[in-house]
Structure 1
Amino acid sequence: MADIIQLLPDHIANQIAAGEVIQRPASAVKELLENAVDAGATEIKLIINDAGKSLVQVIDNGKGMSETDARLCFERHATSKIRQIEDLFHIQTMGFRGEALASIAAVAQVEMKTRRADDEVGTYIEIENSMVVRQEPCAAAVGTSISMKNLFFNVPARRNFLKSNAAEMRHIIDEFIRVAMSFPHVFFSLTHNGQQVFHLDKGSLKQRIVQVLGSQYNSKLVPVQEKTDYLNIQGFVGKPDAARKTRGDQYFFVNNRFIRSAYLNHAIMQAYQDLIAADSFPLYVLFIDLNPEQIDVNVHPTKQEIKFEDEKIVYAFVQAAVKHALAQFSITPTLEFDIDASIQQLDAVSKPFTEEKKAAASSSGLFKSFTQQHQAHFIDSGKPAASGLKNWSDFFEPAQKETGGQTDRLEYEQPSGFDWEIPKKKWQLLENAEFLQIQQQYIIAPITQGFLLIHQQYAHERVLYERYAAALVGRAVSTQRSLFPVTMDLPPADAALLNELLPDLAQLGYLVEPFGQNSFVIQGTPADVLQGNERVAIEHLLDQYKHFSSDVKFSKRERLIRSLAAQHAIRTGTNLTNREMLQLAEDLLVCAQPNTTPTGQATFIEFNKDYLLRLFA
């Protein structure tokens, strides 16, 4: 029989290997930007067309390359960073494995112009499908310009897996932000389809954070600065009121390299314990600098996951640094021990404590309880008059009953036999019944066989969810135009997300129009939504949408209607009239699935007559 194993041709092997490094246009953006940083550039420009599908171009003013280096850099595993295996454990640069340009050249058409400061002319190279099509001298500025055109032109199956332009652009912006945040001393710009999205001047880290994430964070950042013999930690964390429902504004950098680490994120969440809600996430941009020998960055193709030699030490340092920063800037709760000046004038402070008064105080039963028996909570069981604790006894007497020298206690037991499963049947509200609102959160709705205890916010969320779901497949929600349209500015990442959602938002009653770079005009809102807070509502909607985006099983439209339902539902603490409670109950009970919210929380509990009788049996 003939042999069946054969070596793959180089161009096919390169395409397969490129799948690990270049998964989408954003992957190429990351690699090209990191190469520009490694080249010592102080100005880096990123130009994108069609969300990177037709063009990704990076222009830098770095040191450039010679003609030989320009040709050799496209070979797989060709690198200037490693000479021997020990160098892997002293990596200080962003790229080092020599895979980025080779992978890009395997799945795209690449053009490069480069020139060193000492060279009179530069080098132009054109590569397609890993093959050099043209190489010649050219006029070029000092530095390097690389253009990646028609990504996956030779792998159409992978091109079909790319998402919409808006979705791919959001990934590109994410990668751009991570690199730009790492190097605030470098100028960065991002242009998409001829429109400038980012223009980030050189400056401090705080200035870069505000430029990228938005000016609303300018007054909400707390500096973190800790230096130790093992590592240094610096950066900023957000005040508790800057916490959001999504992890979007969280950045960890180790030796200026962006990383993902659930372990270190847990350290920060512990530092914020009891300061923010359990389902909220704090803002942080933290840089950890330590000896490269203490980490291994070569454990993942994207280099976003690294290994620490001693994770526990890093965890402890991060948690302590964040706690210290929050305490130092009076963010964490503290007790105030300043003495009121009027207290100094009281007799107990101004008059001397004589020996007679000292003897009288030490002979009291209260003094003995605290000193001799060492129990601050001890209460003498003797006669009240003799013990000096008459007031304490009076306080407890109404709740006590003497039975053979013992005190009866009220025991509360969980009633048994209660069925928490909501029966699958229709519930009939009583006609002309009076509804009762409890704690501005729950509604008691009488039905023919007892009553329903309705959670007003969850119930309204279910009603709105089904209404919006119907609107997306049928007649659009009516829009109420604003007399005074509201203009809003968003960070570039949120602006890209909102652009993607505009068509579906229009179907749901929101009329929002682009208004220049990262700006929008809210022309109208759904007719049943109160006007006056449109801008905040849209910002919260985007935050909620990103929160739901973490679940991959939801479609874009499903995430949107869930976000809108959660955003527009009446909140706990809202007073409702009898008519409003009746309307909410009626709307809930005609829903296709009235007993749970879209996220599975119960909207009501039924108390029928049989169960009520068992409670009092």
Structure 2
Amino acid sequence: MADIIKLLPDHVANQIAAGEVVQRPASVVKELLENAIDAGATTIKLIVKNAGKTLIHIIDDGKGMSNTDARMSFERHATSKIATAEDLFKLNTKGFRGEALASIAAVAHVELKTKPDGNDVGTLIEIEGSTIINQEVCATPKGTSIAVKNLFFNIPARRNFLKSNNVESRHIIDEFQRVALAHPGIAMSMYHNEGELFHLPSGNLKQRIVNIFGGKTNEKLVPVQEETEIVTVDGFVIKPEFSKKTRGEQFFFVNDRFIKNAYLNHAVSAAFDGLLPDRARASYFLYLKVDPKTIDINIHPTKTEIKFDDEHSLYAILRSTVKHSLGQFNIAPVLDFDRDSNLDTPYDYKNKNALTPKVEVDRTFNPFANVAPPKKGAQLPKHEKQNTTGWEKMYEGLQSKPSADGGDFSSVSFESDASNTDIFVGAETSMRTENGMNNAFAKAESTTYQLHNKYIVTTIKSGMVIVDQHRAHQRVLYEELLRNITVKESVSQQLLFPLVLEYSTSELGLILQLKEGLENTGFAFGKMEDETLEVTGIPTSIGEGQVPIVLEQLLSDLENEVPDVGFSQTDTLAKSMAKSMAVKAGESLDDLSREHLVNRLFACKEPSVSPSNRTTFITLTGDELEKKFK
């Protein structure tokens, strides 16, 4: 039998490794930024063109590489970070597997310029698809400059799987922010298509957060700090009143490495229990320092998942630490929230001992001293018996026949607690009466009823219809918004005073991309700069107080995907706005509103399903009802 197992060529092995390491342009940005940090850089510049598909260029002032090291850095499993297997359990660097540069060079054109401190000239290396096409000396400043061009040029299928430029740009910004937040002492800047997005000077953690997410973030931060034998916790949480429905501002760092951990996220959410608005999520920037021996980083190719030795202890410490900080800064109510401040001990009496009051008692006091004693042989007074003669006269004039003015005992009504036993809440039923008896089968004035403030019940020729009011209203608003955006005939109500809202740079960029669609729904915008958005007009179907909710829901729906310009973008916009503007379950509707909603629903093109393809109504025929009573 012939041998069938063969050793893969290097270029094939590198492309396989690239499938794990290089998933999209943001993966290249992450690996190269981490290499610059491991090189001891104090200033890092990131230049991106065409969302990283055309160019990703990173320049740092680190220690640089020699001629031999520059060549070896592109070999598989070549690294300066570890030497033995034991080093994997005490990692203090970002990268350690030695596959990043080899994998990137396998699927792109790479140009590397590097020079260590003390050398007169540096090294230039040009690689195309794992093949070195040029190596020579060059003049370059201290540090390393690496440019990745034409990503996936030799794998068209992988390039076709990339999303739109808007989506890929957001992923690059996310990776840049994560690295920048983990290392506030390093000055970092980012340029996209020759426009500067971020300019972050070196500083402390709070300054870095404010520089990334805007100056208004400063007042939202609550410091968190705790040091134990297991873990040291540092960072900030966002005050509950500024929480959002998105997960955008949730950052965990372990030993200066960004991670994702649902278990620890639950610990923070548990600390905010009872403080967050409905469906809002806790926002935080938390930094954990643990012994490298107690964690395993090498369980995921992107190294964003970490395995802890003692997760339960971390959970308890993190939860109590965040809860303590919220209480310490009067964010969460303390146990003695009804305490009267007037009862506090003044500072002047703080160190004084309490004096026991002296109570003097007159033991010779006799309360009966001045009362004359009763005479001998006297009897105590007796109660006189009341005269009950002629009691029948009290009832004179009362006959069993009804009087002329209707004073009949048969019409006496007794006061009792009001009880509502109607199944259909909100239905005003006017029942016909006959011979003083209620007719239980009399027809009600309204043809629609509201059940549990969630469903609308109405009759049809064949039986009855039960409508989910929230989903039905979503369908009605969705088709109306689609029509307005397409036809561009929406009506806008101008605000007397413009509404000024605050968003981060990335969130403002998303709204700017959807500005035309929002304007077609009835929104009107003023200035959009300096992380503020000025709203001068709103659709007639929403109130001024709903504007932040509508836009926040839109940002939440666009968190993971920004659709291209076209119908997909319009569809996402209409779905998101319909979901936030629709009447919610639990809201009571009057007769006119119920009937109007039902009529508008059945006038839609697709009344049977909501925009998210969920059932809006069900029907029960007369035959189905009869079977229920058999």
CA drift of 1:355 comes to 13
Amino acid paired to 1:545: D
Question: 1:576-607, CA deviations, whole angstroms, 9 ceiling, x for partnerless residues?
Answer: 77655543332134345657654577867989
Answering whether residue 481 of structure 2 is matched by residue 468 of structure 1, we say yes
Give the greater-gyration-radius structure (CA). Answer: 2
Question: 1 CA distance for matches of 2:305 and 2:314?
Answer: 15
Amino acid paired to 1:107: V
Amino acid paired to 1:303: K
In the other structure, the counterpart of 1:284 is: 284
SS in structure 2 of the partner of residue 225 of structure 1: strand
Question: 2 CA distance for matches of 1:432 and 1:326?
Answer: 54
Question: 2 CA distance for matches of 1:239 and 1:89?
Answer: 37
Listed as ranges, the matches of 1:424-463 within 5 Å are 447=459, 457-463=470-476
Question: 1 CA distance for matches of 2:138 and 2:331?
Answer: 58
Which of 488, 491, 494 aligns to 2:504? It is: 491
Give ranges in structure 2 of 5+ residues lacking alignment: 346-356, 364-419, 424-442
* Mean CA deviation greater in 78-87 or 445-454: 445-454
* Mean CA deviation greater in 176-185 or 459-468: 459-468
Answering whether residue 545 of structure 2 is matched by residue 544 of structure 1, we say no
SS in structure 2 of the partner of residue 7 of structure 1: coil
Answering whether residue 583 of structure 2 is matched by residue 583 of structure 1, we say no
CA contact (8 A) 1:64 1:117 kept: yes
Question: 2 CA distance for matches of 1:136 and 1:202?
Answer: 34
In the other structure, the counterpart of 1:426 is: none
- Alpha-carbon spacing, 1:606–1:152, altered in 2? closer, same or farther (3 Å): closer
- Alpha-carbon spacing, 1:134–1:495, altered in 2? closer, same or farther (3 Å): farther
CA drift of 1:27 comes to 0.1
CA contact (8 A) 1:34 1:94 kept: yes
CA drift of 1:207 comes to 1.8
Question: 2 CA distance for matches of 1:457 and 1:313?
Answer: 42
In the other structure, the counterpart of 1:129 is: 129
Question: 1:165-193, CA deviations, whole angstroms, 9 ceiling, x for partnerless residues?
Answer: 00100110111111011011111111100
Q: TM-score, normalised to structure 1's length?
A: 0.75
CA contact (8 A) 1:509 1:525 kept: yes
CA contact (8 A) 2:245 2:552 kept: no
- Alpha-carbon spacing, 1:462–1:186, altered in 2? closer, same or farther (3 Å): same
Question: 2 CA distance for matches of 1:319 and 1:340?
Answer: 29
SS in structure 2 of the partner of residue 298 of structure 1: coil
Question: 1 CA distance for matches of 2:37 and 2:315?
Answer: 29
Amino acid paired to 1:90: K
In the other structure, the counterpart of 1:174 is: 174
In the other structure, the counterpart of 2:45 is: 45
Listed as ranges, the matches of 1:326-475 within 5 Å are 326-334=326-334, 335-339=336-340, 447=459, 457-469=470-482, 475=487
CA contact (8 A) 2:447 2:459 kept: no
Question: 1:539-558, CA deviations, whole angstroms, 9 ceiling, x for partnerless residues?
Answer: 324333246869xxx97655
Question: 1 CA distance for matches of 2:360 and 2:28?
Answer: 80
Answering whether residue 310 of structure 2 is matched by residue 310 of structure 1, we say yes
Which of 563, 579, 582 aligns to 1:566? It is: 579
Question: 1 CA distance for matches of 2:360 and 2:447?
Answer: 66
Question: 2 CA distance for matches of 1:326 and 1:517?
Answer: 30
Question: 2 CA distance for matches of 1:240 and 1:257?
Answer: 26
CA drift of 1:481 comes to 8.3
CA contact (8 A) 1:110 1:126 kept: yes
Question: 1 CA distance for matches of 2:451 and 2:422?
Answer: 21
Question: 1 CA distance for matches of 2:290 and 2:362?
Answer: 63
Question: 1 CA distance for matches of 2:360 and 2:605?
Answer: 77
CA drift of 1:59 comes to 0.9
- Alpha-carbon spacing, 1:122–1:342, altered in 2? closer, same or farther (3 Å): closer
CA drift of 1:35 comes to 0.7
Question: 1 CA distance for matches of 2:28 and 2:362?
Answer: 85
In the other structure, the counterpart of 1:185 is: 185
Question: 1 CA distance for matches of 2:599 and 2:362?
Answer: 77
In the other structure, the counterpart of 1:7 is: 7
SS in structure 2 of the partner of residue 159 of structure 1: helix
CA drift of 1:567 comes to 2.2
Question: 2 CA distance for matches of 1:353 and 1:7?
Answer: 104
SS in structure 1 of the partner of residue 124 of structure 2: strand
- Alpha-carbon spacing, 1:584–1:593, altered in 2? closer, same or farther (3 Å): same
CA drift of 1:278 comes to 6.2
CA contact (8 A) 1:129 1:154 kept: yes
- Alpha-carbon spacing, 1:188–1:588, altered in 2? closer, same or farther (3 Å): same
RMSD: 4.4
Question: 1:445-497, CA deviations, whole angstroms, 9 ceiling, x for partnerless residues?
Answer: 7656899887755542231123335567x644535485898776642322343
Question: 1 CA distance for matches of 2:458 and 2:546?
Answer: 36
* Mean CA deviation greater in 598-607 or 86-95: 598-607
CA drift of 1:343 comes to 14
Give ranges in structure 1 of 5+ residues lacking alignment: 345-349, 357-411, 416-429
CA contact (8 A) 2:554 2:577 kept: no
CA contact (8 A) 1:477 1:526 kept: no
Identity of aligned residues (%): 46
Question: 2 CA distance for matches of 1:469 and 1:253?
Answer: 42
SS in structure 2 of the partner of residue 219 of structure 1: helix
Question: 2 CA distance for matches of 1:355 and 1:584?
Answer: 82
Listed as ranges, the matches of 1:104-123 within 5 Å are 104-123=104-123
CA contact (8 A) 2:450 2:457 kept: no
SS in structure 1 of the partner of residue 44 of structure 2: strand
CA drift of 1:147 comes to 0.5
Listed as ranges, the matches of 1:29-44 within 5 Å are 29-44=29-44
Amino acid paired to 2:297: V
SS in structure 1 of the partner of residue 153 of structure 2: coil
Question: 2 CA distance for matches of 1:45 and 1:31?
Answer: 14
CA drift of 1:26 comes to 0.2
CA contact (8 A) 2:105 2:130 kept: yes
- Alpha-carbon spacing, 1:130–1:579, altered in 2? closer, same or farther (3 Å): same
- Alpha-carbon spacing, 1:573–1:102, altered in 2? closer, same or farther (3 Å): same
In the other structure, the counterpart of 1:239 is: 239
SS in structure 2 of the partner of residue 218 of structure 1: helix
- Alpha-carbon spacing, 1:19–1:517, altered in 2? closer, same or farther (3 Å): farther
In the other structure, the counterpart of 2:17 is: 17
Question: 2 CA distance for matches of 1:566 and 1:245?
Answer: 13
In the other structure, the counterpart of 1:421 is: none
Answering whether residue 265 of structure 2 is matched by residue 265 of structure 1, we say yes
CA contact (8 A) 1:11 1:106 kept: yes
Question: 2 CA distance for matches of 1:62 and 1:337?
Answer: 58
Question: 2 CA distance for matches of 1:3 and 1:342?
Answer: 90
- Alpha-carbon spacing, 1:261–1:343, altered in 2? closer, same or farther (3 Å): closer
CA drift of 1:338 comes to 3.0
Question: 1:190-224, CA deviations, whole angstroms, 9 ceiling, x for partnerless residues?
Answer: 11001111111222212211222233432221111
CA contact (8 A) 1:525 1:534 kept: no
Answering whether residue 236 of structure 2 is matched by residue 224 of structure 1, we say no
In the other structure, the counterpart of 1:202 is: 202
CA drift of 1:279 comes to 3.0
Question: 2 CA distance for matches of 1:353 and 1:298?
Answer: 80
- Alpha-carbon spacing, 1:76–1:218, altered in 2? closer, same or farther (3 Å): same
State the number of aligned residues.
538
- Alpha-carbon spacing, 1:352–1:52, altered in 2? closer, same or farther (3 Å): farther
